[in-house]
Structure 1
């Protein structure tokens, strides 16, 4: 999915401020898995150091996720408006005792934006691909996504045809002048 297509989803969350913020954090810092961002609790967020500590990850290892730029700004803004009675960053708005369920809001936003066949998890593939196309090494991509193996990071990274054409063009320009 192209970056301009991803940006078209966000306006469709206008009826759900928390969903919009959650998507913006995910969009701006795509190294979170859906379960990780939904289950985030305030005690695992360190705004001063710009990081989130994930104790329970898919691979069973503790992981630090750096927060920077827009994602850090969004979480800082969100903290100022947080619901004090909830430990979750994005609580269910009825009880505040559990994380919010995003499925219906996500599906509705995709439908309104005209985007088909795109899962929330696909944002991680987009993250890896954009990192690769912007010069990050496979080791850096694995680190950002929290992958134990380079093979897994490779599986997530996809180079677009236009990017490959641009790379060949740049090479030809340097070699042939």
Structure 2
């Protein structure tokens, strides 16, 4: 904090918005120079907002803007609610690092720990935009580095896919089939409505996706048959709802983990169904650009994680060049390999 006399002679106390002495000193020099020049400093007054007030406003703001609202609500409720009565300006790098350490100590995956911190950082970014807190607090929160994530991809073989489907309860089976045969995210499946499904053209049309862009997903025969086994709502409502109450399904983790146990499949999460979809496509020779489009990736760099699964196809591409350069170019084209 700095202290100086304003044009009217009254003592002014002002936060420098920094923990560094030189920053406070530089601000004090600017303020005194302004007073000498006859300028009354304009000080932005920020109310003493609490984290609970920010959380309430943030959750209201992301409604309709982000498809991950339920995920973020869950993160805030499970890990951040304890900060509800703490003023935002009290958040320091140490507070955030302590949260990170606690999550690591509870054996959460690095990816999940990073997800919690990303939610927190996103909230403080909006807090600065809304003048709930000063920039320095955001800098302190952002200072905490994310953990290195395990990039290992877990995907199922063809036989394992069938074993998992067979092990599912009748209620869970169509959900898992849609996941394996379309590559849709869990939130996209559980929020899927009949009004999003065009059976005449075998398409699923998603308006609200993770990256905010519209996506068309082709339905193959297996996925179509799974949908046809379900009772169709005339109002175009949810495809998957609780059998007894008709209410939305929030999660299927318990039933899914039980199915994996029955099928003797270990270390496999629901999201890995999406990895299985992409991995099997790449290993079947589908190009990465097409896989990227089907997954709804905003950038193909996200799809490159699957590129190592296609070494045989890269070798085949080089063989095509070998045939072409050795005078077999016409034969190669006629075989339908080169397009």
TM-score, normalised to structure 1, is 0.81
Given the alignment of the two structures, is residue 149 of structure 1 paired with residue 328 of structure 2, yes or no? no
Q: Give the root-mean-square deviation of aligned CA atoms.
A: 2.6
C-alpha distance in structure 1 between counterparts of 2:317 and 2:298, whole Å? 33
Partner of 1:9, secondary structure, is helix
Q: 1:158 to 1:20 in 2, by over 3 A?
A: farther
Distance 1:40 1:139 in 2: 25
Matched residues in 2 for 1:35 and 1:157: separation? Answer: 26
Count of residue pairs the alignment pairs up = 166
Question: In the alignment, is residue 130 of structure 1 matched against residue 280 of structure 2?
Answer: yes
Measured in 1, the distance between the counterparts of 2:244 and 2:216 equals 30
Q: How do residues 100-111 of structure 1 correspond to structure 2 at under 5 angstroms?
A: 101-111=251-261
Q: Contact (CA 8 Å) 2:195, 2:236: kept in 1 or not?
A: no
In the alignment, is residue 92 of structure 1 matched against residue 239 of structure 2? no
- Residue 5 of structure 1: aligned partner: 160
Q: Take 1:107 and 1:134, find their aligned partners in 2: how far apart are those partners?
A: 28
Match for residue 173 of structure 2? Answer: 20
CA distance in 2, matches of 1:106, 1:157: 28
Q: Distance in 1 between matches of 2:317 and 2:195?
A: 47
1-structure distance, mates of 2:302, 2:278: 10
Shift of 1:28: 2.5
SS at match of 1:60: coil
Structure 1: gaps (5+ residues): none
TM-aligned CA deviation for residue 82 of structure 1: 3.6
Superposed CA deviations along residues 85-106 of structure 1, whole A, max 9, x for unmatched, are 8821110123212125311110
The alignment status of 1:37 with 2:189, answered yes or no, reads: yes
Q: Tell me which residue corresponds to 1:58.
A: 210
Corresponding residue of 2:66: none
The structure having more radius of gyration, on CA atoms, is 2
Bigger mean CA deviation after superposition, 117-126 or 149-158: 149-158
Distance 2:315 2:201 in 1: 40
Q: Is the 8 A contact 1:41 1:88 kept in 2?
A: yes
Structure 1 pair 165–55 and aligned structure 2 pair: CA distance change class (3 A): closer
- Alpha-carbon deviation of 1:129? 1.4
